[in-house]
Structure 1
């Protein structure tokens, strides 16, 4: 179903983008995601899996370059177009949206700090890739560190007893890496490169970290089995182990001096996109519930004729529209100004994921018993939405971190 676009200033190009990505999401992503949802994690990432067919199609369309500057061969979409793109992609599959999003994380961050070496080594090869042979991941989460790694500025972040598990030691012109990232690394089982967060200076705690771009195909890198999980099963996630793996000094793009600031920027970037993703998921759930309410009868009348269903749909509609308005405003602002204002990104992520979960929950209620079955897609969307309350930082922890940012501004 289409929705009334409240932004009367959308360009013709943006309208075309919305229609084209929506069509791709419905015709390609959604059917594939439903099939992958029924597979084992090992089957999802197998060489002949439909997962790879879809990823290759997105690369062929240039979707992996939405953030890449046009001088390097990217789409270079403006902020509003980026939100439209990610929302519509997630309408078909939030798992695929996350998978593509983290895949481009390393070249996107590299483009912010680009020098000639990084342009030739990372950005141009990724932009010219058309077969999904270069896949990235955001490797920050660890077995004993999850949302706490996403809270720069808080007291524990500079505690020398609380440090990242992957350590980097400088040896000559290279950094040597040892340690482990946890099973929650999105694209971990399939990635060829990582935007990798490490510890360099133990005395500074987590603030003594570094961010590098690491080749995951090298000797010294080993991957665990893909994670078997509740939702977003089309998104491969898994552990990564480092044993004397190496990174050239040119690819250690952030050192302890700027780590805390850059981590906040990365979190702001990631969470504003989560807001867009889950707006798309919320819209999908609302549309399915609305359609079902016009087809299913109870008490001799269609569901949509019942007062309680009308009321429920109205509140679902309101949550979708407010999620869209807020997450789009946050992305538009934070992609136009540097540095981004992290509290808005965190707020967008927390609000939109919660809204998506509540909309999916209400949709299940409208479907009734059928909503609990695998026969209807809403059951999958509910599981996908539940993951969003923890994904890219637990909503509880992000709210505390955002509240800390607000308190620092006034006290």
Structure 2
């Protein structure tokens, strides 16, 4: 029981019910919050109102953002990698929640463009680091006819007796090269401005594309997108996350040195599992931030807007709806940070943990953003107010980095396997 002599005033941190943050953690949170408010939000507002072609054109505010985020040192994957496990579990969620509060699309871009560089540095190969270590990259896996099958790369959800779809992009080994042909989907984040790619592609190693169980052989390879045979389509014109450029990449028998292979089929499933585990976890942090942004806009608006002779916060129904938003944001944060603790502090990180956060947070985030539009009424539907953008951005989150339903199916399959192995003789 708490002994309280006098009812205290409510004390809330930048991100709600925070307690026990160290001075270093508070400083990191405050610096990131200021960057999100002063840099990300103004640039994102401009980019959201531009065409997809204008977003990537020379002189676009997008490049100003990329320069400023690099100069800030806020997203430095090498620095994050050098943290101990406890630091990662506590600090990385703080950073990405603030970036998601600033703009989810730009936050995702900042990570996606760093994947090839991070992998190149991880190889320790000076030549790969020279080519891929500092250029703008993208994570290339999705294809037009292989959407959710990419997430189910190991074929766990494949129908009995069926084969995975071959898709539009494949590779084969030819001497000392990997030859890549076909096209990615238009949903590759950062592709329109990317110079490099970390690509996960079905691959024929000499005995065909398919395994006996109907799943595909794959390869993970670093590709220089400025070499001959590579071209790009128009950037995708989409409803949400418009500051995040996405688009197709075409490969016309592009020859990639075998030394660029970062995972062959024997190691591919585990490698992809690791990347998706981080990506889904990061989505949980980022869209907690977006949900918080929608809630905070609602909180301010209901104290300003007057109807029925008073600010609408004085109406009971509005108070209840606002508190429902608050609860969902706090639940998102608790879920996301719990998953960070598991992935960094348990013996092994696991995709089930990350899916648990990704699908719960993105669904809750959309509900919070949709309620924000409802609370704003007609104003919420206009582009003069920020909440309609937040709702559009939140809607995209339930499909990107794995459509939520297929992710939930995969997580349920892993949980079922765990139960069978530990509880059924």
* TM-score, length-scaled by structure 2: 0.88
State the distance in 2 between where 1:40 and 1:238 align: 13
Deviations 1:90-146 (A, max 9, x none): 1110010011111112233445x52334663367x32xxxxxxx2111111101011
Is the 8 Å Cα contact of residues 117 and 129 (structure 2) preserved in structure 1? no
Q: Equivalent residue for 1:60? A: 71
Bigger shift: residues 76-85 or 345-354: 76-85
Give the deviation of 1:172 after TM superposition: 2.5
Structure 1 residue 265 corresponds to structure 2 residue 274: yes
Instruction: Report the 3-state secondary structure (helix = DSSP H, G, I; strand = E; otherwise coil) of the residue aligned with 1:63.
Output: coil
Is the 8 Å Cα contact of residues 280 and 355 (structure 2) preserved in structure 1? yes
User: Which of 167, 173, 193 matches 2:176?
Assistant: 173
Instruction: Report the 3-state secondary structure (helix = DSSP H, G, I; strand = E; otherwise coil) of the residue aligned with 2:188.
Output: coil
In our comparison, the structure showing a higher alpha carbon Rg is 2
Is the 8 Å Cα contact of residues 163 and 206 (structure 1) preserved in structure 2? no
State the distance in 2 between where 1:155 and 1:319 align: 30
| CA 1:277–1:242: 2 relative to 1, 3 Å | same
Q: Equivalent residue for 2:118? A: 108
Instruction: Report the 3-state secondary structure (helix = DSSP H, G, I; strand = E; otherwise coil) of the residue aligned with 1:225.
Output: strand
Is the 8 Å Cα contact of residues 101 and 292 (structure 2) preserved in structure 1? yes
Bigger shift: residues 203-212 or 135-144: 203-212
Q: Equivalent residue for 1:95? A: 105
Structure 1 residue 379 corresponds to structure 2 residue 380: no
After TM superposition, list the pairs within 5 Å mapping 1:254-333 onto structure 2. Answer: 254-333=263-342
Q: Equivalent residue for 1:226? A: 235
State the distance in 1 between where 2:191 and 2:307 align: 46
Bigger shift: residues 102-111 or 273-282: 102-111
Q: Equivalent residue for 1:130? A: none
State the distance in 1 between where 2:195 and 2:189 align: 12
Is the 8 Å Cα contact of residues 156 and 162 (structure 1) preserved in structure 2? no
Q: Equivalent residue for 1:31? A: 42
Q: What root-mean-square deviation, in Å, do the aligned CA atoms of Structure 1 and Structure 2 show?
A: 2.3
Instruction: Report the 3-state secondary structure (helix = DSSP H, G, I; strand = E; otherwise coil) of the residue aligned with 1:189.
Output: helix
State the distance in 1 between where 2:33 and 2:321 align: 25
Instruction: Report the 3-state secondary structure (helix = DSSP H, G, I; strand = E; otherwise coil) of the residue aligned with 1:230.
Output: coil
Is the 8 Å Cα contact of residues 135 and 190 (structure 1) preserved in structure 2? yes
Structure 1 residue 40 corresponds to structure 2 residue 51: yes
Q: Equivalent residue for 2:220? A: 211
Q: Equivalent residue for 1:129? A: none
Equivalent residues, number? 399
Bigger shift: residues 255-264 or 313-322: 255-264
Q: Equivalent residue for 1:399? A: 408
Is the 8 Å Cα contact of residues 291 and 329 (structure 2) preserved in structure 1? yes
Long gaps (5+) in structure 1:
127-133
Q: Equivalent residue for 2:6? A: none
Instruction: Report the 3-state secondary structure (helix = DSSP H, G, I; strand = E; otherwise coil) of the residue aligned with 1:247.
Output: strand
Deviations 1:290-317 (A, max 9, x none): 0001100010011111101110111110
State the distance in 2 between where 1:238 and 1:170 align: 26
